[in-house]
Amino acid sequence: MERILIVTLPNLTEELTEKLISVGYVPRRSDVLALAGVLTAPGQAGLRAVLLEGPPGTGKSAFAEAVFQVIRGNGDRVEFIVYQCHSWSDADELFVGVDVAAAVAGDSGSVRQDGVLAKVARASERGMVVLLLDEIDKTMQRTEALLLDWLQSGRVPVRPGVQIQTTMNNVLCFITSNAHRELSDALMRRVRRVMMQPLPIAQQERLLMVRTNLPPGFVRVLWKLAREIAVHEGNNALSLQEGVRALHEAFSFSGDQGDLALTLTGWAARNNKGRDYVRDKVIGSRNLSAAWSELCRARQLVKAEAEKEEARHAV
């Protein structure tokens, strides 16, 4: 019987966690385990690929970008290639297509252009590549099928009978899905699957404080109101990006509680159900008054800090 050698790297998960945090991404344990697993997977296991599933706003694309930043921070040569999937994604966009402008101009040497997988294959000859195939569930299933051989073998057909080979050890592929449709078993067998849920509220608040540099009280109250509006619509995954922008807009421009309500509506409500909730339940509420009080207090704190800093420089 063939002996299977299992090598454990107990410190790798801790190191990955620290490095991801250092670039501004706070990973879940499931994120770290998946990343450690694919980074150390045997070479004969196919291309290193992770499928990130979950509702919008749970950090799927942010995870891929954070991994790229970690690799770049190590001093390694690395490229980050992003492809936004859509319903008309096809072999032209994945493998090789036609540059219409070059064809019209009669530039025969530039008519053919690399698709995203051909670009990855060529870039992998130069160094590391982090590929993000975003929202694969928006494609037709036949397009998903085009990925299968590449994930297994790294081969990219560029013309009949001609292929280029991906340097598979140099590629880390992240595929995201918002579950608009079920993905094929064939794809699922080739990827490490991670289900991403919204971060705990306390962790969301800490990240918003770091990203906006705004006082905790204001962040907590406004984010709570924004989440209430989103949840009323059935959206349990209001993104941190939306939170950062709402906090910035509210802090910078709100002149009264009415402005605050408009900002909350603009960032947290996506349909009339949310807008009606703001009109009927938020405007005139104690929670909105509390948010306005925290906003005024936050402005005073920021102003006081700025005056202290100005005084220090004046000495």
114 belongs to a structural domain: yes
6 belongs to a structural domain: no
227-247 residues labelled b (16+ CB within 10 A) or e (exposed):
bbbbebbebebbbbebbbebb
Q: How far apart are CA 315 and CA 313, in angstroms?
A: 6
In this prediction, residue 7 carries a pLDDT of 42
Residues 79 and 100 in one domain: yes
Residues 214 and 98 in one domain: no
Residues 174 and 132 in one domain: yes
Domain end residue (candidates: 144, 171, 195): 195
Residues 186 and 222 in one domain: no
Domain end residue (candidates: 150, 174, 195): 195
In this prediction, residue 30 carries a pLDDT of 94
5 belongs to a structural domain: no
3 belongs to a structural domain: no
Residues 49 and 189 in one domain: yes
108 belongs to a structural domain: yes
In this prediction, residue 101 carries a pLDDT of 53
Domain end residue (candidates: 195, 226, 241): 195
256-314: pLDDT as tens digits: 999 999 999 999 999 999 999 999 999 999 999 999 999 999 999 999 988 888 888 87
Residues 171 and 47 in one domain: yes
In this prediction, residue 2 carries a pLDDT of 34
In this prediction, residue 228 carries a pLDDT of 95
Whether the CB-CB separation of 16 and 30 falls below 8 Å is answered with no
1 belongs to a structural domain: no
Residues 205 and 226 in one domain: yes
In this prediction, residue 9 carries a pLDDT of 59
Number of domain units in the chain: 2
129 belongs to a structural domain: yes
Residues 41 and 172 in one domain: yes
In this prediction, residue 105 carries a pLDDT of 56
In this prediction, residue 6 carries a pLDDT of 41
Residues 225 and 183 in one domain: no
2 belongs to a structural domain: no
List the CATH number of the domain containing 161: 3.40.50.300
Residues 252 and 232 in one domain: yes
Residues 184 and 294 in one domain: no
Residues 299 and 237 in one domain: yes
The whole domain housing 282 covers 201-314
The parts of the chain modelled with pLDDT lower than 70 are: 1-10, 43-45, 97-111, 315
